[in-house]
Amino acid sequence: MEVDKIMKLKVEGMMCGHCKKAVTNALMKEDNIESVAVDLENGEVTVEGNDLSKEKISNIISETGYKVL
């Protein structure tokens, strides 16, 4: 079974350092996530870890106040 190690998502509404920190902190609370990179200019969040679930990651980002496209 193929397991995602790196996932890149388009996210709408992130505009500043606070946005970047909020998304990063929320995602890093998950035990299976090793790193988070937020690209404000391109509106992308790249997550690296084990057994990544797009649904779970999308929900965490949405709960932080941003829209996953």
Question: Which tens digits make up the pLDDT trace of 55-65?
Answer: 999 999 999 99
Residues of the chain with pLDDT below 50 are 1
| pLDDT confidence of residue 1 | 43
Domains of the chain, by residue range, sit at: 6-68
Fold of 6-68: Alpha-Beta Plaits (3.30.70)
Bin 41: left if φ > 0, else alpha if -120 < ψ < 50, else beta: alpha
CA separation for the pair 4, 49 (Å, rounded): 8
CA separation for the pair 27, 40 (Å, rounded): 16
For 62, list phi and psi in degrees, rounded to 5: -60, -40
